[in-house]
Chain A
Amino acid sequence: MRKGPLPVLQQAIALLLFLPAMLLSSCSDECESTTTFIVYEPVYMLRTELKNAVKVTPAQTLKEPGKIYTKGHYLFINEVNKGVHIVDNSNPSLPRFLSFIDIPGNLDMAVKGNILYADNYIDLVAFDISNPLDVRLVSRVENIFPTYFGMVVNDTAAVFISEFVETQLKQPAGTDCSSAGPGWRNGWMTFDGRSFASTSVAQPGNSSGKGGSMARFTISGDHLYTVSNSDLQVLDISNTSNPKKGEKIRLGWGIETIFPYDNKLFIGSTTGMHIYDNSNPTSPVHLSTYAHVNSCDPVVVEGDLAWVTLRSGNACAGFTNQLEVINISNPRSPQLVKTYPMQNPHGLGIDRSTLFLCEGKYGLKIFDAKDHLKVSENLISHFKEHDAFDVIPMGSNLLLIGQDGLYQYDYSNLKDIKLLSKLPVSR
């Protein structure tokens, strides 16, 4: 009846039964997974290498400017982790680079008299800058700053970890088909040096210079105060060329900025503002802590008011971008008076009730802050054309540092703020 098709059919069915068995051996998924880890690898540096690296070199242009500091008619601009530019600013319309001091690991500086203090990874170095063309190293205080681990390097250690570099590590995982997910992670998160920006404050008539609101170094009288991520270090500089290590005060984690005002030290951290009584300068005493949400926050003070900016960002965590006004007439109990929303506030400065606020890539905002409850309604001007991260108001001239260079403005007439000069960044 079905003589024709049947054998073929039988064959086909037989084939179909065997087919799975035949194919099974080759039915294995092939997976080629490559995992790319971003790790932070430690860079080791020899102590002798650190000492030898500090030297004065010819003037250079700005590449990655950090903090700024001013003293007399000199301007000091930090080159992140590289050193300090010395700029002759006797004519603000035409600033000139004089020289560059190679200081590996440098982020902060302060000047008193003719001595420039700077951090050199784990050490503090002091330079005689009476002749800016012939800068000489006069002193070195060893093992004073903690490393990224937050540990102070042992006196006998010949080597230390200077920094962590971001490296890509590829890990081929062969034929594994399991769906990818977080694996091991190694290394440490590093903080962006620039995130530690600064404020300025009109200091009592001593011969020290002036830093920004994002400074971690500040001079008050005969003492230099430096803050690391977790500690406040006091240094006696009554003999300017021979700084002496003083008391070290544990502050807690996430310390970012310090600035002195009226016998008090205002220390900005990622979680709040600490107020220390500095009437005994060798041993500051904790008065109070004003806590706020997690974010980066430089502080400036004028009169009874402290101005704090909170911003979000990589190293800063948090999602807040605002300006806070805090009443500190009773330093033991600071009270929040008013909060203004901002775009991405970085450093700030205040001079005779004129508030200068850096908004990062949104530029510089200048407010009339005479009425501290109506600051947002009194915007004098907004310079949007360039990035701004820290300012120093100097009475009539304003120093502004941003990603593309150092700008100087004349603000003697607030209605007509003029750009005097620009030191551009060359990459």
Chain B
Amino acid sequence: MRYLYLLTLLFFSSGLAQAQSDEQPVKRYMGTVELGYLYGNNKQHDVDNFVAAPTVTLFNGIRLHRLLAIGATTGFDFYNNLLITPFALGIRGEMLNTRISPIYSIDAGYGSSFLSHESDNEKKEGGWMFNPALGFRVRSGNSTAYTFAAGYKTQKAETVSSWGHSFTEQKITFKRLSVQLGFMF
């Protein structure tokens, strides 16, 4: 299952490279790749513990209007001991048609833990995620651009770890500031 997913991802992104090379007058396709961090306070025994979880976001969508592109978002969020793969509906938009323009994005969906490592005495489950962000993009070519965005990401997850006959259930709501640099094509 997980290899199939990764393979599809690879196949799809190689397809993107071709799609990108087709210069069209009205570009319907929109894709972004973003790298960044999810920053927040993960309290350990009531002691503040600020952490930054690396994140990778991939978006593929169709541009309906400059202000609205609809598509699918996936990627990887590397929380401590938990790798979340979101499967989300995403919308993107550019405010202006200038070289530098404010942009927005909203992703909402389910963050799955299926790629996360699980041991025999540990169960992990993902949950709903929501990630609005604001930023700006700087055009670098005809249909490509660099992006910078900051937003807020909330992600639900559950872990159960057991030892002997005892176990600990943890219901987690990650609330993180997301800061991402990306490339739009």
Question: Which A residues have a C-beta under 8 Å from some C-beta of B?
Answer: 2, 4-5, 8-9, 12-13, 15-16, 19-20, 23-24, 26-38, 173-183, 185
Contact = CB atoms under 8 A, between A and B. Distances in A.
Given A16-B148, A27-B176, A29-B173, A178 B134 contact: no
A414 B174 CA distance: 70
A28 B166 contact: no
Given A38-B164, A179-B80, A8 B41 contact: no
B179 interface: yes
Interface string B38-56: 0111111110010000000
Interface stretch (B5-13, B95-103, B106-114): B95-103
Interface string B134-160: 111000000000001111100000010
Nearest to A175: B43
B154 to A, nearest CB: 9
Contact of A38 (B80, B150, B165): B165
Contacts, number: 126
A258 B131 CA distance: 69
A161 to B, nearest CB: 20
B67 to A, nearest CB: 14
B161 interface: yes
Given A8-B95, A31-B43, A24 B166 contact: no
25 contacts: A4-B98, A5-B98, A5-B100, A8-B102, A9-B96, A9-B100, A9-B101, A9-B102, A9-B136, A12-B102, A12-B134, A20-B150, A20-B177, A26-B152, A28-B40, A29-B173, A30-B173, A31-B43, A32-B170, A33-B169, A35-B167, A36-B168, A175-B43, A177-B43, A179-B159
B43 A179 contact: no
Nearest to A18: B150
B18 interface: no
A179 B150 contact: no
Contact of B44 (A24, A178, A185): A178
Interface of B: 39-46, 49, 80-81, 95-96, 98, 100-102, 134-136, 148-152, 159, 161, 163-177, 179
Contact of A33 (B96, B134, B170): B170
A28 B43 CA distance: 8
Nearest to A173: B168
A352 B154 CA distance: 75
B152 A27 contact: yes
A177 B172 contact: yes
Contacts of A33: 168-171
A177 B161 contact: no
Contacts of A179: 80-81, 159, 161, 170
Given A34-B168, A36-B169, A29 B45 contact: no
Nearest to B103: A12
Contacts of A20: 39, 150, 177, 179
A53 B150 CA distance: 73
B40 to A, nearest CB: 4
Contacts of A182: 163-164, 166
Nearest to B48: A28
A34 B149 CA distance: 36
Given A4-B98, A8-B95, A9-B102, 20 more contacts: A5-B101, A12-B102, A13-B136, A16-B148, A23-B150, A24-B177, A27-B175, A28-B175, A29-B43, A29-B174, A30-B173, A30-B175, A31-B171, A34-B169, A35-B166, A36-B168, A38-B164, A177-B42, A180-B159, A183-B166
A19 B39 CA distance: 13
Contact of B175 (A13, A26, A178): A26
B152 A23 contact: yes
A173 B169 CA distance: 10
A16 B134 contact: yes
B100 to A, nearest CB: 6
Nearest to A32: B171
B138 to A, nearest CB: 10
Contacts of A175: 43, 46
Contacts of B102: 8-9, 12
Given A8-B96, A35-B166, A36-B169, A27 B134 contact: no
A2 B166 CA distance: 66
B111 to A, nearest CB: 14
B150 A19 contact: yes
B170 to A, nearest CB: 4
Contacts of A32: 170-172
| 4 nearest CB pairs, A to B | A180-B168, A38-B165, A12-B102, A28-B41
Contact of A180 (B43, B161, B164): B161
B117 to A, nearest CB: 13
B44 A177 contact: yes
A13 B149 CA distance: 10
Contacts of A23: 150, 152, 177
B115 to A, nearest CB: 18
A34 B41 CA distance: 20
